Amino acid sequence: MGYIKLIGSNREFGKLWVAQLVSLFGDWFSTITISALIASYTAGTEYQGIAVSSFFIARLLPPVVMRPLAGVIADRFDRKRLLILSDIARALAVLGLLFATQGPEYLPLVYVFVVAQFLFSAIFEPARSAIVPSLLYRHELVIGNTLSNMTWSAMLAVGAIAGGVAAELLGTQAVLLIDAMTFVVSALLIVSIVIPETPRSETDQETRKVKSKSQRTIRDALRYLASHPAAAAGLFVKTGMGITIFDTVMIIYGTQIFVLGDKGITSVGIFWAAFGAGAIIGPLIANLFSDDTVHKLRQLIIVGYALIALGWFFWGLAPSLELVAMAIFIRAMGGAVCWTYSSVIIQLEVPDEYLGRAFSFDLAGFELVQTIGMVAIGVLIDIVGNEGIQAVVYGSALAAAAPLLIWIWIVRRLEKFKPLG
């Protein structure tokens, strides 16, 4: 009821939430279709693993390159206008993907237009995350971010299933047209949002001197984070999550090992749906144990990291599609807890004028590690083949233990010198 009440009582946040819901539906609606298209274009070749990985790299690498500049842009310019322009540009990029559906010889176009789409996503995401504290009071940040993450996860699940069904019934081109329209609808919703001049999350907080927009540089943000370790610590969490890569492994499992539907679209849809469901349930359960303090959020992130490692371990043991889906569900629960609470910690610890750059650094770390990992995973899968992919999963379980141990050490260091309530 708290989530419904927040949307009903805060019209501006409600509009931002609906815009997110619509655009995310389109994102996941087409992701499975495009990844399955690439898998079918490269079936029987020696480079299928790296081809699928390259699709996800094309989604991740442009934001990594763009993030530092995107953070400065989000802190210097009108964030609402940035969201609108990004939505329009992404709609055009998705329409460009229609050319890639004509045959395998057009495969390079997939990467060209995906790169263009996610260059603009690199501006959209930090700007959206930085707007949230302007629309919500401090006591609403946990529930607001949980709602946003639940929306991402729900649209992943719904979009995954709907996209798979629509691809088989309507075809790839229809799916891409629907995706493009979702960005247009999102832009129209954002046009009507009114952003308060003073962020609501800073109500009743100590008055501080705000730097002029011309002084909001990358170096200035790095100096701030270096002098505020509690704020900087929140930026590690998503980077730690990025060490293990599930996307490529999941696509290979769905299209090569446990295949349902045309080209494995149905099985991949089931896996994405399991991931989305886990990502919804994880924060909902964790919130029952949260008191909204930074101290408690840090402790719950430890639990989230542990669930990620556990999910990978069960995945390695799973002998069937159903049990792989369950393992993905567990891994997603932990990932969603880490993602949601790290965002809240940043919003609680970082002033509004630095939020755009802070979230850019936050996402860039995740995307950089993911990009490197996807290249490595893609090459490794091509070397070991389907017969050795179980070893890749067990290796991921081992790798997932590293960020868990590092985060435990970080929390102990922070709270040893400055206990937080």
% of the chain beyond a pLDDT of 90: 17
pLDDT at position 160: 66
CB 23 within 8 A of CB 87: yes
Q: Which two tokens stand for residue 329?
A: 């569900």
- CA-CA distances (angstroms) from residue 53 to 59, 144, 207, 237, 352? 10, 32, 48, 23, 36
Amino acid at 138: R
Mean pLDDT of 267-282: 84
Please provide the average confidence, as pLDDT, over all residues in the chain: 82
Q: Per-residue pLDDT for 82 more than 60? A: yes
Q: Per-residue pLDDT for 139 more than 60? A: yes
CB 172 within 8 A of CB 1: no
Specify burial of residue 34 (Cβ count, 10 A radius: 0-12, 13-18, 19+).
buried
pLDDT at position 421: 45
CB 265 within 8 A of CB 36: yes
Q: Per-residue pLDDT for 207 more than 70? A: no
C-alpha to C-alpha distance for 329 and 279, rounded to whole angstroms: 7
Kindly list the structural domains of the chain, giving each domain's residue range(s) and its CATH number in brackets, ordered by start: 2-196+217-415 (1.20.1250.20)
pLDDT at position 91: 92
The count of other CB atoms within 10 Å of the CB of residue 188 is 13
pLDDT band at 157 (very low <50, low <70, confident <90, very high): low
Q: Which residues contact 124 (CB under 8 A, 6 or more apart)?
A: 82, 83, 86, 87, 90
**DSSP result, 73-137:** HHHHS-HHHHHHHHHHHHHHHHHHGGGGGG-GGGHHHHHHHHHHHHHHHHHHHHHHHHHHHHHS-
pLDDT at position 202: 66
C-alpha to C-alpha distance for 264 and 92, rounded to whole angstroms: 28
pLDDT band at 402 (very low <50, low <70, confident <90, very high): very high
Q: Which two tokens stand for residue 174?
A: 């229809």
pLDDT at position 147: 84
Q: Per-residue pLDDT for 119 more than 70? A: yes
Q: In terms of pLDDT, which residue wins out, 323 or 378?
A: 323
CB 420 within 8 A of CB 295: yes
Q: Per-residue pLDDT for 1 more than 80? A: no
Highest mean pLDDT among 25-34, 62-71, 196-205, 257-266: 62-71
Phi/psi-derived region of residue 208, left when phi > 0, alpha when psi is between -120 and 50, beta in every other case: beta
pLDDT at position 166: 78
Amino acid at 200: R
Mean pLDDT of 270-290: 86
Q: In terms of pLDDT, which residue wins out, 298 or 161?
A: 298
Q: Which two tokens stand for residue 260?
A: 């349902």
pLDDT at position 21: 86
Angle between helices 141-169 and 11-41 (to 10 degrees): 40
Highest mean pLDDT among 144-148, 252-256, 402-406: 402-406
Q: Which residues contact 29 (CB under 8 A, 6 or more apart)?
A: 159, 162, 163, 166, 175, 178, 179, 182
pLDDT band at 334 (very low <50, low <70, confident <90, very high): very high
Q: Per-residue pLDDT for 420 more than 50? A: no
C-alpha to C-alpha distance for 165 and 34, rounded to whole angstroms: 14
User: Lowest mean pLDDT: which of 11-15, 167-171, 270-274, 275-279?
Assistant: 167-171
Query: String of b and e for 138-167 (b: at least 16 CB within 10 Å)?
Result: bebbbbbbbbbbbbbbbbbbbbbbbbbebb
Angle at 257 between CA 252 and CA 262, to 5 degrees: 80
The count of other CB atoms within 10 Å of the CB of residue 198 is 9
pLDDT at position 34: 82
% of the chain beyond a pLDDT of 70: 92
Q: pLDDT tens, 32-69?
A: 778 777 877 776 666 667 777 778 778 777 777 887 78
CB 353 within 8 A of CB 230: no
pLDDT at position 352: 79
CB 32 within 8 A of CB 157: no
